[in-house]
Amino acid sequence: MTRALWNKQVIAQSDDTILVEGNHYFPRDSVADRFLRKSEHGTWCSWKGQASYFDIVVDGNVNHAAAWYYGDPYPAAAQIRGMVAFWRGVEILDED
């Protein structure tokens, strides 16, 4: 089981993450929607495509653009379509 935690809350958990460039990508349905807020932030990757972001909000605390996903990834990154990854202080616990 792999978990993503921030501010003492489990943001996501799954037995089915994909590891890409050191980041665990969680299936979208394993991420708790109640902690996500759409962000205007975006980035571009030369082999994955355009990334969109979510802020993580827990107990009124906001971690800006701390989760990202590729809505329409390039073919080389098709395996992460519909998956969400985290950074900016989100702790990833990979428990075998």
Using a pLDDT cut of 70, give the percent of the chain over it: 99
Q: Work out the mean pLDDT of the chain and round it to a whole number.
A: 97
Contact 68, 85 (CB under 8 A): yes
Structural domains of the chain, count? 1
Whether 92 shows a pLDDT value over 90: the answer reads yes
Residue range(s) defining the domain that contains residue 63: 2-92
pLDDT in tens, 16-30: 999 999 999 999 999
- The residue whose two tokens read 């590729």 is 70
d(CA 49, CA 73): 5
58-88 pLDDT, tens digit per residue, is: 999 999 999 999 999 999 999 999 899 999 9
pTM for the model: 0.95
Token reading at 31: 């991420």
Can you give the pLDDT at residue 62? 98
User: Over 80: is that where the pLDDT of 96 sits?
Assistant: no
pLDDT of residue 95: 87
Residue 62 is part of a domain; what is its CATH number? 2.170.150.40
